[in-house]
Amino acid sequence: MKNVALLFSMIFIVYSCKDQVKTPNLDPSKKERIVKQYFEYYNNHQWNELATLYSPIADFKDPSFGPEMTIQTRRQTITKYNKLNTLFADLHSEIVKIYPSDEQHIIVELVSTGTAADSTKFKLPICKIFTIDKGKITQDFTYFDNFDDSNSDK
């Protein structure tokens, strides 16, 4: 009876440890392909196609939404980029470098540019952290310096 209890204990331990070993969500090259596809759609202003890269509902951190994380649907993502594209018809982002991270995250350094209707141009360095789960972007955290230094002491 002792041997049976010991055997069950060992089986339980082995199976418990087995559950803790995670298989990778996506290999880094697949995550990188998703990111490159994202920016191809972005630069071609294909907002509907870009939105399909997201899960149906995704988490966003973006200074344009305010300081808190927000949840957006694909439709809301399309609307956001349509509005941005209305303000800047030549909206474009150039990837500077892609930094693969852990099994679900990938970091992208980029420079976004555009020209407003009054011919005002912008050039903005940005860092994006994407969380990708099962081939879809579930989180899009965007960081850039949105501090207006025109009012600062120089």
Residue in 29, 86, 77 with CA at minimum distance from that of residue 57: 77
**pLDDT at 12 (0 to 100):** 47
Task: Taking residues 109-121, report their average pLDDT.
Answer: 96
User: Is it the case that residue 154 has pLDDT exceeding 90?
Assistant: no
- Domain extent listing, the chain: 26-145
Q: Which two tokens stand for residue 150?
A: 């025109």
**pLDDT at 82 (0 to 100):** 97
Q: Which CATH class is domain 26-145?
A: alpha beta
**pLDDT at 65 (0 to 100):** 87
Per residue in 13-46, pLDDT (tens digit) is 444 444 444 444 556 689 999 999 999 999 999 9
pTM as predicted: 0.78
